[in-house]
Chains A and B, each alone.
Chain A
Amino acid sequence: MSSIALVGNPNTGKTSLFNTLTSSYEYVGNWAGVTVEKKIGSLKNGAGKLIDLPGIYSLHPLSRDEGVATQYLIEESPEALINIVDASQLERNLLLTLQLLEYGKPTVLGLNMIDVAKARGIAVNHEVLQSRLGITVLPLIARTGKGSGQVLSVLEKASTIPQVTFRLDYGELTEEAIASIVTELKSIPGLPNLRWVALQLMEQNPVVLELLKKRMDISRLMVICDGCQNALQSSKQALTLPQWIRSVRMDYIRSLCAAAMDTTLLKPHNLTERLDSILTHRFLGLPLFIFFMYAMFKTTFDWVGGPLSDLVDGLISGPISTGASSLLHTVGASEFTHALIVDGIIGGVGGVIVFVPQIFILFLMISFLEDSGYMARVCLLMDSTMERMGLNGKAFIPFIIGFGCNVPAIMAARSIEQPKDRMLTTLLMPLMSCSARLPVYLLFAAVFFPAQQATAVLAMYVLGVVFALILCKLFSKHLFKNESSVFIIELPPYRMPQLKTLGRSTWEKGKGFLRKAGTIILAGSVIIWLMSYAGPSGLNVEMDHSFLAKFGGLIAPLLHPLGFGTWQAGSTLVPGFLAKEVVVSTMNIIYHAPDAAGLEGQISQVFTPLSSVSFMAFILLYIPCLATVGVIRKETASWKWTFFSMGYSLVLAYLVSLVIFQGGSLLGLS
């Protein structure tokens, strides 16, 4: 079996091609069109494994994503490479191509998006590219799958892809230095192409430097590099060695593009220009964005999602519940089994399944924003606000994904270049109301603020964002001193997202929720139900004398100042740490509610409008769920930061709920 790596700049369609070339794949962590780690799949024709690496601009890593790709090339020598380039952005894309050719592995160049290039009036002659670079060049339209058949047949026998003969001449001075570095490296076993290593060293690629430091004393190599740099300076060719290498490459790329590309018919991005003049307008841009967000929430909760959820609720509390009940009756199930299935499982899991339509609609709209190209503009609009708070606008995409689920959002933060910005984004992510907290808001909003449901729910989201911004300012001032943030973002042309892709990415995001419903929430519901069914005096006890009541009663005094010092509220918090979805299913079980209306009736008795707001704020802030804690630990690689994120949120939740309830009481609210 051979392994073939897929390499290219971000947004060039690597993942689209990956999906058409492979039949099955091992899921390593791909979210919303962003490959955050390498993804491995087996080729459709059984010729080997295909590895989808994160998009990179060059082999010199800046963000963690890029580090993954460079590390891969150094440590796990693949048999061949497929380099995907965007035909409409050829000049920029070829910089990586040259570095890959120097790497020396057999390479196939996939010239993607020839349709996009054509529409813009750019004609690329792939035969010229092929003869100049000395590798196979295949024109592609990865989005529709056109040309992928040829790629497959070329890959059929990876061993027959010809060796790369490409070699760029860096001039006498540099070539001498390369030759002496190569001589020094010859004694070190297990290195990839020595000329490539020498060039990467001269470019000061940190991953390569690190690797060499582990195996040898690099001081002699550095002397060679310094000598070469001094010679370049005194002959007035360049200021630094990396600059010189880059400029030689750029000159070559320009001459190559001049020969292979015809841009005489080049047209501007008309649609993009027109849309941008409105959507990123200096005065209209932000209000429009806020309006879109409002419309998004309104659609999710009022216009489409709400009615759909009611439909599902009717189905579960009606036919499914009574059906199961009569079925159990017929087979003569014991009272225990009957209660377990109807109250524990259907009541608990069903209470959460009700929210599936709303969650999928939210994910669908987030996917639409991502695929259309608007999300990048949002980062642009938000940057000045975020900068004042000590972060950069790029953190906004992870934050928006965080509204779906915090776990992938924290992983998406890897695309941020600066370590400080990445850390801040990770630490603050739990303040974004993920879809698991949504059921709680929806439930309470429906009971206490029926006329302004969308506004009430939106207010909770805004509350989280406001605290994220305040804490961001605080943390960046006191925890990360003297580190300013940088901001640069590419703005892709606007595109109408394809239905197929939208469906796929919505499903990828939403299935996590369904999977949780089937595992954690199911297990949680059963355990909670058991605790409510059993008590110190035996089985089938009064709820007030159950283990659950005893347990919740222990926490209740602490929660009293917050306005919800009941054992019922207390006992929802601990399972809520496992997964916030369990909060609502716990309530379903505790209040023994047959359906949503019943639960709403119970809640209106126990909570007041003021204490419901206090409770929602507490649920929003109190602690990241177990899965999020796990990913924070993984991404920060530090227990200190992990405990910090749990600790600060718990303190914040208590303080905020206290202020809401006590302050509200003083103002005479109830």
Chain B
Amino acid sequence: MASTSCSLLRLQPGSTGSIQRIEGMNPILRRRLADLGVSEGVIIRLKGKGPFLGPITLECNGQLFAIRRKEASMIEVNVS
């Protein structure tokens, strides 16, 4: 199956991808994401995008959480 990698922000709401790389993120946020189990190789789902360019909602390991779009753009995912 052909797979392409793109920024997490490019996912359609409701679709999933596996995290390939997280780069250039604020270290505090990076650690908090790691605490939630968000790291390379993990499957992540984009649930929805907030109003007025607000944060996007994500699901990872059955946990719902939200981060800002700017940060989400630093997460690169693989879509198959």
B50 interface neighbour in A269, A272, A280, A493, Cβ under 8 Å: A280
Q: Which residues of A contact B32 (CB under 8 A)?
A: 57, 62, 417, 488
Residue A489 lies at the interface, judged by CB distance under 8 Å to chain B: yes
Q: Which residues of A contact B63 (CB under 8 A)?
A: 89, 92, 490
CA distance A497 to B29 in the complex (A): 30
With A62-B32, A276-B48 given, name 17 new contacts (CB 8 A).
Answer: A57-B32, A57-B36, A58-B35, A92-B37, A266-B62, A272-B64, A276-B47, A280-B48, A281-B51, A282-B48, A286-B51, A286-B52, A383-B68, A384-B50, A487-B67, A488-B65, A492-B64
Q: How far is the CB of A184 from chain B (nearest CB, A)?
A: 27
> Would B57 and A491 count as touching, CB distance under 8 A?
yes
> Would A92 and B61 count as touching, CB distance under 8 A?
yes
Interface flags for B36-66 (1: CB within 8 Å of A; 0: not) read: 1101000000011111111101000111111
Residue A486 lies at the interface, judged by CB distance under 8 Å to chain B: yes
A→B interface (CB under 8 Å): 57-58, 60, 62, 88-89, 91-92, 95, 120, 246, 250, 266, 269, 272, 276-277, 280-283, 285-286, 380-381, 383-385, 387, 393, 417-418, 484, 486-493
A491 interface neighbour in B31, B65, B68, B71, Cβ under 8 Å: B65
Q: Which residues of A contact B57 (CB under 8 A)?
A: 276, 280, 380, 491
Q: Which residues of A contact B65 (CB under 8 A)?
A: 488-491
**Total residues of chain B contacting the partner, CB 8 A:** 30
CA distance A385 to B63 in the complex (A): 25
Q: Which 8 A-B pairs give the minimum distances between C-beta atoms?
A: A57-B35, A384-B54, A491-B64, A282-B51, A384-B52, A92-B37, A486-B29, A380-B66
> Would A380 and B54 count as touching, CB distance under 8 A?
yes
A95 interface neighbour in B35, B47, B50, Cβ under 8 Å: B35
CA distance A156 to B42 in the complex (A): 42
Q: How far is the CB of A525 from chain B (nearest CB, A)?
A: 47
Q: Which residues of B contact A493 (CB under 8 A)?
A: 64
9 contacts between A and B (CB under 8 A): A92-B36, A250-B37, A380-B55, A383-B66, A385-B52, A393-B55, A488-B29, A490-B63, A490-B64
> Would B48 and A489 count as touching, CB distance under 8 A?
no
CA distance A663 to B24 in the complex (A): 50
> Would A285 and B50 count as touching, CB distance under 8 A?
yes
> Would B29 and A381 count as touching, CB distance under 8 A?
no
- Chain B stretch 10-29: residues in CB contact (< 8 A) with chain A: 26, 28-29
Given A276-B57, A283-B51: A491 and B35 interface contact (C-beta under 8 Å): no
Q: Which residues of A contact B39 (CB under 8 A)?
A: 246, 250
> Would B51 and A384 count as touching, CB distance under 8 A?
yes
A418: nearest residue on chain B (CB-CB)? B28
CA distance A486 to B70 in the complex (A): 10
CA distance A491 to B45 in the complex (A): 14
> Would A246 and B34 count as touching, CB distance under 8 A?
yes
CA distance A286 to B54 in the complex (A): 11
> Would B28 and A486 count as touching, CB distance under 8 A?
yes
CA distance A117 to B63 in the complex (A): 13
Q: Which residues of A contact B68 (CB under 8 A)?
A: 383, 387, 486-487
B54 interface neighbour in A88, A89, A383, Cβ under 8 Å: A383
Q: How far is the CB of B50 from chain A (nearest CB, A)?
A: 6
Q: Which residues of A contact B53 (CB under 8 A)?
A: 384
Q: How far is the CB of A88 from chain B (nearest CB, A)?
A: 7
B61: nearest residue on chain A (CB-CB)? A91
CA distance A417 to B65 in the complex (A): 16
Q: Which residues of B contact A88 (CB under 8 A)?
A: 62
Q: Which residues of A contact B71 (CB under 8 A)?
A: 486-488
B71: nearest residue on chain A (CB-CB)? A486
Q: Which residues of B contact A417 (CB under 8 A)?
A: 28, 32
CA distance A634 to B61 in the complex (A): 38
Q: How far is the CB of B13 from chain A (nearest CB, A)?
A: 10
Among B26, B51, B71, chain A packs the most CB atoms within 10 A around the CB of B51
CA distance A488 to B47 in the complex (A): 15
CA distance A246 to B52 in the complex (A): 36
Q: How far is the CB of A284 from chain B (nearest CB, A)?
A: 9
Q: How far is the CB of B35 from chain A (nearest CB, A)?
A: 4
> Would B50 and A383 count as touching, CB distance under 8 A?
yes
B31: nearest residue on chain A (CB-CB)? A62
Q: How far is the CB of A520 from chain B (nearest CB, A)?
A: 40
Q: How far is the CB of A313 from chain B (nearest CB, A)?
A: 42
Q: How far is the CB of B58 from chain A (nearest CB, A)?
A: 9
Q: How far is the CB of B70 from chain A (nearest CB, A)?
A: 9
> Would A488 and B67 count as touching, CB distance under 8 A?
yes
Q: Which residues of A contact B51 (CB under 8 A)?
A: 281-283, 285-286, 381, 384
> Would A489 and B50 count as touching, CB distance under 8 A?
no
A57: nearest residue on chain B (CB-CB)? B35
> Would B61 and A384 count as touching, CB distance under 8 A?
no
Q: How far is the CB of B55 from chain A (nearest CB, A)?
A: 5
> Would B48 and A89 count as touching, CB distance under 8 A?
no
Q: Which residues of A contact B28 (CB under 8 A)?
A: 62, 417-418, 486
B65: nearest residue on chain A (CB-CB)? A490
> Would A380 and B31 count as touching, CB distance under 8 A?
no
CA distance A286 to B66 in the complex (A): 16
A257: nearest residue on chain B (CB-CB)? B61
Q: How far is the CB of B1 from chain A (nearest CB, A)?
A: 23
Q: Which residues of B contact A418 (CB under 8 A)?
A: 28
B25: nearest residue on chain A (CB-CB)? A486
Q: Which residues of B contact A487 (CB under 8 A)?
A: 55, 66-68, 71
Q: How far is the CB of B16 from chain A (nearest CB, A)?
A: 12
> Would A383 and B55 count as touching, CB distance under 8 A?
yes
Q: How far is the CB of A55 from chain B (nearest CB, A)?
A: 11
Among B34, B39, B63, B66, chain A packs the most CB atoms within 10 A around the CB of B66
Q: Which residues of B contact A283 (CB under 8 A)?
A: 51
CA distance A58 to B34 in the complex (A): 10
> Would B64 and A89 count as touching, CB distance under 8 A?
no
A486 interface neighbour in B26, B35, B37, B66, Cβ under 8 Å: B26
Q: How far is the CB of B20 from chain A (nearest CB, A)?
A: 15
Q: How far is the CB of A490 from chain B (nearest CB, A)?
A: 5
CA distance A60 to B30 in the complex (A): 13
A287: nearest residue on chain B (CB-CB)? B51
Q: How far is the CB of A440 from chain B (nearest CB, A)?
A: 34
CA distance A376 to B57 in the complex (A): 12
Given A276-B57, A384-B50, A491-B65: A60 and B29 interface contact (C-beta under 8 Å): no
